[in-house]
Amino acid sequence: MKVELNPNHHHQDQGTETEMCRTIEVVAGGVVLSPAKQVAGADDCADDLFIPPLNFSMVDNGIFRSGFPESANFSFLQTLGLRSIICLCPEPYPEANVEFLKSNGIKLFQFGIEGYKEPFVNIPEDTIREALKVVLDVRNHPVLIHCKRGKHRTGCLVGCLRKLQRWCLTSVFDEYQRFAAAKARVADQRFMEMFDVSSLKHLPMPFSCSKR
């Protein structure tokens, strides 16, 4: 299912993406979160704190990754000047997060991938491929990629991006394991190893493609 509030958005695939991605076009000046809502229950000084989301990191120029952002992270995210967020979780986006997107003119691309546990891991290759197209489109930058913890689903998407950047598999796996730690999954690494990037090589690469 795809929910797009701006039907004239002209650079998305209207075919396979219809079933695997929900997008929300938000407009600055919509509903503005007050500081009290963003830091409800916190000390007064919390307004001045910039707290990054769980497992936050920079992937490349204009591309970031993290776990699911909470309201305490909104002030930090504002400093990134995000144009879009890629959410890899299937659950409805929280209302507080939607309001944050509206007030900051950020577009949400939601690719619902279930958070399975081994041995029942099922990573949909077509969905990862469509998400990569969003990542590669510089018009969506700066972009934040996130799932629940910023480990497995986000790690797989970033790992496939690294293959496009011609990283060797050892470096791809090292980066994945840095975030997944003790929760690293053999199935995820097998998926990244087998993922075919050939159909994406024709797309512009607006960031570094150095070999690692």
CA distances from 91 to 26, 37, 103, 149 (A): 19, 22, 22, 14
DSSP string over 116-151:
--TTS----HHHHHHHHHHHH-GGG-SEEEE-SSSS
Say which DSSP state 33 is in.
P
Q: Which one is catalytic: 87, 147, 156, 160?
A: 147
Residue type, 45: C
Task: Examine the residue annotation and report whether 45 is marked as an active-site residue of this protein.
Answer: no
Distance in angstroms (rounded) separating the CA atoms of residues 26 and 103: 8
What SS3 class is residue 137?
Answer: coil
Structural element, H or E, at residue 30: none
* Catalytically annotated residues: 147
